[in-house]
Amino acid sequence: MEKEEIFSKVLRAGRRTYFFDVRATKADDYYLTITESKKFTNDDGSFHYKKHKIYLYKEDFSEFNTILKEMTDYIVNEKGEEVISERHQKDFKKEYNTEQVTSESAESRFTDVDFDDI
């Protein structure tokens, strides 16, 4: 059973909310829980939340921080800080490959299948 939060922070990010909570173990040591809560709307207009939780203990903080920084730096270095997602930008236009496929090249990619073979 989880104990009451010692220290908490909330990050609201669109339909997602992240909760960062410091909690105490039975031995009165501290650990961190990170909870992602995502809101979903049902067809009838009602809504529900799905939650995912990570428990992070002190012995893992250093390596977790190192890897988290490495991964976030990689993403920013490779893709920049600008968000390029249809869900985040209503005016986002996906660029399509304009190379046209001729019927000859399309036919060469497929083989005939005879249903008698199945």
Question: The domain that contains 74 carries what CATH number?
Answer: 3.10.450.700
Decide if 116 is inside a domain: no
The DSSP call for residue 82 is S
Decide if 12 is inside a domain: yes
pLDDT at 106 over 60: no
Confidence band, pLDDT 50/70/90 cuts, at residue 59: very high
pLDDT at 93 over 70: no
Decide if 36 is inside a domain: yes
Decide if 84 is inside a domain: no
Decide if 26 is inside a domain: yes
Which residue segment(s) compose the domain that 52 sits in?
A: 7-79
Among 55, 17, 53, 22, residue whose Cα is nearest residue 37: 17
Mean per-residue pLDDT of the chain: 80
pLDDT at 90 over 60: no
Helices (H), the chain: 58-79, 103-109
Whole-prediction pTM: 0.62
Q: What domain count does the chain have?
A: 1
Decide if 27 is inside a domain: yes
